Amino acid sequence: MGQIYYEDVSVGDEVTPLPKNATSQQLVKYAGASGDYYQIHYDDGFARNNGLPGIIIHGALKNAFLGQLITDWMGSEGQLKKLSVSYRAMDIPDEDLVCKGTVTDKRVEGGVGIVECEIALHNGAGKPTTPGKAVVALPIRGS
């Protein structure tokens, strides 16, 4: 995807969706990389014994997916200023997930193009399980 500029964005625009499908192998790799070895993310029996439907995706990994959604969309010249998410429901591996976003505000502050977005990770049923917000600075043409 090429660079997006402040002038290219309008309130209501869709952030290019990012499909994801976390495998149990990815969860093990993420546990190793993040140091989050809580068994609900890799031990099915342990997860079920704790009232879960099986292993679940790390919340921080879902946060990372949403970070990728925004950084892919804004391009290499954009700057991620703020990313916040809320974990509202669990997601399971091997389910088709989609990260989505919508531009909710844009303004110029001190010569910088600021764009705010509502973002969310949606489960296979289309329900947003991890809503959040992102604020990015996009380059302004000719600046």
Residue 125: is its pLDDT beyond 90? yes
Residue 46: is its pLDDT beyond 80? yes
Confidence of residue 84 (pLDDT cuts 50, 70, 90): very high
Instruction: Return the CATH number of the domain spanning residue range 6-22+57-138.
Output: 3.10.129.10
Residue 16: is its pLDDT beyond 70? yes
**What sign for the dihedral angle of Cα 14, 63, 39, 20?**
positive
Confidence of residue 142 (pLDDT cuts 50, 70, 90): confident
- Of all residues in the chain, what percent carry a pLDDT higher than 90? 97
Question: What pLDDT, on a 0 to 100 scale, did the predictor assign at position 1?
Answer: 64
Domain boundaries along the sequence of the chain: 6-22+57-138
